A and B are shown apart, each in its own frame.
Chain A
Amino acid sequence: MKVKVDKSLAASIVLHVLVLGWGLVSFSARSYEVQPDSLAVDIISTDQLAQMKQGLKNGEKDKPKPLVEKVADAKPVDEAIGKVTEKEITTSVAPKPVEKPVEKKPDPPKQAEDKPKDEPKQAEKKPDPAKVDPIAEALKTEEAKKPKPKPKPEQEAKAAPKTPPQPKQERVFDATKIAAALDKRDPTRQSITGSALNASASLGTHTGNADAIIATWKGAFVAAVRRCFNFPYNGMDADQFEADIDIYMRPDGTLASQPTIVAARGPSPSISHAMAESAARAVVQCQAYAFLPKQQYDTWKYIGMTFSLKDML
């Protein structure tokens, strides 16, 4: 029996097998490798952050910054709202990035007419043909894709750029243009407690606890107990004494039981024990801690606290 083989079919099979085999060898041999591009990161708590920013009592005093001499008039500060408006105009009146600057020059006066607060500096930047706003391009593409059931003010502006009607300048919220509406300037306001950690600890300020007090209930709790903690040790080895106290709380901020002395450490057992008693006394005396957030009760129904005399001297 003779089997008739279709030559074209056989050739196709052979070619497919060859292609697939080549593909298996060439693609499967190289696995995807993730470049080890990692940075060492220390994870710290909010309290630790506050502690680092707080400074040291024996640190160097903060040097007051010298006053700046006036060398020129202050540059007007951009207003965020105005900037957003300007962005909208930019997207609508820049259909051809290849236009020459000379031809675009009439545009800035128009903006100046529309918006008295406009700044000539920004108007000069705008005609730069080399700079193509990618956001504007993206929005333009989106606009082109959309059906045009009714003419928008911006589109009218495109059609008759020389006589823009007044409604065009009104800011109309468009969810699709949020990206364009975002203010891309660097923030001008500084955080209250400083965004950078001190490389060298300074004397600190009386508001240095802001992070701890504002950010967590822990800072507020420590501050409240501190008011009642007064163990008057007058030895020079105060930094060696510590006491661990366990505290169990009720949801209303009162103590569920007497604070428990877990451990007392120090060169003298009698002194460290007296200090631990004083610490427990302070916790009881300063209750109730009604400011503790009730919705976070699970986080403070048990509080472990370590009392130290480190900074007393």
Chain B
Amino acid sequence: MLGVQHALAQQPPRLKLTPDEFQPIPIAIPNFVPGSPADGQVGADVTGVITNNLKRSGLFAPIDQAAFIEKITNIDVAPQFQNWKSINAQALATGRVTRQSDGRLKAEFRLWDVVSGQQLAGQQYVTAPEYWRRIAHIISDQIYSRLTGEKGYFDSRVVFVDESGAAERRVKKLAIMDQDGANVRYLTRGADLVLTPRFSPSSQEITYMEFGQGDPRVYLFNIETGQREIVGNFPGMSFSPRFSPDGQRIIMSLQQGGNSNLFVMDLRSKATTRLTDTPAIDTSPCYSPDGSQICFESDRGGKPQIYVMPAQGGNAQRISFAKDDVNASYSTPVWSPRGDYIAFTRQGGGQFSIGIIKPDGTGERLLTSGFHNEGPTFAPNGRVLMFFRDPGGSSGPSLYTIDITGRNELKQPTPGYASDPAWSPLLS
């Protein structure tokens, strides 16, 4: 006992190291080796998608292939790590794609720690050849997860409102795409105005609001089957639908007279429950990831602000207090899938900002500001936000992504103008 105490007393104090600044991980991703000469193109394509995903995340710095010293020809043999150390790579992802005799595509990959020479991950996937992009996204998630310790977000999709045509006769169609902007599909024809699409957290369904011939209605749309159904028949107008975390309920606001209150509807029984009853406008409700709480926007205090209350209704607590601008208003709250933050749109000082705040009202942080930024939606891992930005004038809105530190803002590729994005959960 005394000896141990003596040894502890003898141990020198630990040196402390904190990084000076944020540095992405340098990673080398050589083209996936083709199983046959015919697979060369798909190998390069898979590599390109992985490289693009990791680069756009801002956490990785893929090394230019022109700098590679070694050419990977067989992924079953350990690479010459010295060749990759010399170009300052910390990680190396190698892979192989092979079209099998049954016509399906097999993709294998290995992730190497260049410094220690150890394999960090290794997987193989088989799919139909047309889904090669999904394989690339899944491998990207594997690399991201293994090196950062967090879940990835690449194997996911985004539903949004595609806008085309002149400003005064804008055609708005519901569309869906991969998170990197590929595989765009249109879900509606653009005859009616669509707004606020939202993904189900548990299935490939979306809700959205459509202005048809009469009042706006909330619809439920199955992406896989294309089936569409109206969610209840309510007197007045219904807005801002959003799924509960288990996908069994939809929370929304219904307008009655000059007021708007929150209601929740069970999708199976169609039973509707009122959650708020105030002479104010309560709207844009969203659930916490565990389903125990609701955040929403209300002007009960005079200006639109963000409130949090129990999922069954009850005492609502205001959490948004702009200390630097007493005239600021908050809207479009959305809870992070991780539960740690609520993203919002803040209007004040002639600008629209996208920001995050902790559910207890602390830690507010504005990530980006400008003429018009609105409608944030979280990536499945809660680390990236997508929103739309309208520069004003005759042009239209575009989609942007930004990480929750505000460090990495990127324009999201879309076919045309785009607004109202909603990020899906991970597909796998």
Contacts and interface: CB of A to CB of B under 8 A. Distances in A.
Given A270-B149, A271-B149, A274-B149, A235 B12 contact: no
Contacts of B85: 285
Contact of A311 (B19, B60, B365): B19
B192 interface: no
B341 interface: yes
Contacts, number: 119
Given A226-B20, A304-B15, A308-B18, A234 B383 contact: yes
A299 B16 contact: no
B340 interface: yes
A233 B15 contact: no
A294 interface: no
Nearest to B117: A284
B15 A270 contact: no
A281 B23 CA distance: 14
Contact of B404 (A229, A234, A272): A234
A272 to B, nearest CB: 7
Interface in A263-282: 268, 270-275, 277-281
A45 B383 contact: no
B113 A234 contact: no
Interface residues of B, number: 41
Contacts of B17: 222, 225-226, 229, 279, 305-308
Main secondary structure on chain B at its contact with chain A?
loop
A244 B17 CA distance: 10
B115 interface: yes
B14 interface: yes
Main secondary structure on chain A at its contact with chain B?
mixed
B45 interface: no
B181 to A, nearest CB: 21
Contact of A310 (B18, B22, B60, B408): B18
Nearest to B15: A305
Contacts of B363: 236
B407 interface: yes
A309 B60 CA distance: 17
Contact of A274 (B23, B60, B148): B148
Contacts of B15: 47, 218, 221-222, 303-306
A232 interface: yes
A199 interface: no
A234 B407 contact: yes
Contacts of B58: 232, 234
Interface string B130-171: 000000000000000111111000000000000000000000
B24 interface: yes
Given A230-B25, A270-B149, A236 B341 contact: yes
B116 interface: yes
A313 interface: yes
B115 A308 contact: no
Contacts of B102: none
Contacts of A232: 22-25, 58-60, 148
A270 B340 contact: no
23 contacts: A45-B13, A222-B17, A225-B17, A230-B23, A230-B90, A232-B24, A232-B60, A233-B148, A234-B59, A236-B356, A236-B363, A244-B14, A274-B149, A280-B116, A285-B85, A302-B12, A303-B15, A304-B13, A305-B17, A308-B16, A308-B18, A313-B22, A313-B405
